[in-house]
Amino acid sequence: MRAVVQRVSEAYVTVDGKETGRIERGLCVLLGVERGDTEADARYMAGKIAKLRIFEDENEKMNLSVQSVGGKVLCVSQFTLLGDARGQNRPGFTQAEAPEAANALYEWTCDEIRKLGVPVENGVFRTHMMVHLVNDGPVTILLDSKKQF
């Protein structure tokens, strides 16, 4: 499972011009499910997202998590994070999980983040979404449940 985590002052997602999720201070997470991912990968990712210390404390050090600042998460499924363009210019997506299994793990991850006390807003799986955000910092962190990077 892979994620792009961005610290935001605000973010929202629309589908066909209709807003499906909006947050203010928090994290915008683009989440890709890889073929073979399990609930263990989802649990790892949920814990990392909820506890990642990328918000500034009173000394302007990144020591606080979205949990500790009372922020929210906007989580958007994004299979293109599993795209492989190493051998060609057109990425291949064979490492992305099949849609039904991917959606189940995406939803499970969002539920796990909620269980950790962080409100989660969502995009709509398998739709063309427009994601709008204001990256605060900018701060962007890449996460991989297999710890490849």
What is the model's pLDDT at position 86?
94
3-state secondary structure the chain: CEEEEEEEEEEEEEECCEEEEEECCEEEEEEECECCCCHHHHHHHHHHHHHCCCEECCCCCEEECCCCCCCEEEEEECHHHHCECCCCCCCECCCECCHHHHHHHHHHHHHHHHHCCCCEEECCCCCCEEEEEEEEEEEEEEEECCCCC
- Which residues does residue 129 pair with via DSSP β-bridges, in sequence order? 15
End-to-end CA distance of the chain: 12
What is the model's pLDDT at position 42?
97
User: Residues 6, 14, 55, 79: which is the catalytic one?
Assistant: 79
Work out the average pLDDT over 18-43. Answer: 98
- CATH number, domain 2-142: 3.50.80.10
pLDDT band at 21 (very low <50, low <70, confident <90, very high): very high
Q: What confidence tens digit (pLDDT) does each residue in 78-125 have?
A: 999 999 999 999 999 999 999 999 999 999 999 999 999 999 999 999
Tally Cβ neighbours within 10 Å of residue 66.
Answer: 28
What average pLDDT does the structure give for the chain?
97
- Which residues does residue 8 pair with via DSSP β-bridges, in sequence order? 26, 135
What is the model's pLDDT at position 148?
85
Q: What confidence tens digit (pLDDT) does each residue in 132-149 have?
A: 999 999 999 999 999 887
User: Residues 6, 14, 78, 109: which is the catalytic one?
Assistant: 78
Is residue 76 predicted with pLDDT exceeding 80?
yes
Q: Is 78 a catalytic residue?
A: yes
Q: Is 55 a catalytic residue?
A: no
What is the model's pLDDT at position 15?
97
Identify residue 59 by its one-letter amino acid code: N
Task: Kindly list the domain boundaries of the chain, sorted by start residue.
Answer: 2-142
User: Residues 38, 80, 127, 140: which is the catalytic one?
Assistant: 80
What is the model's pLDDT at position 149?
77
* CB-CB contact of 11 with 26 (8 Å): yes
Q: What confidence tens digit (pLDDT) does each residue in 96-106 have?
A: 999 999 999 99
Whether the bond into 91 is cis, omega within 30 of 0: no
Q: Is 79 a catalytic residue?
A: yes
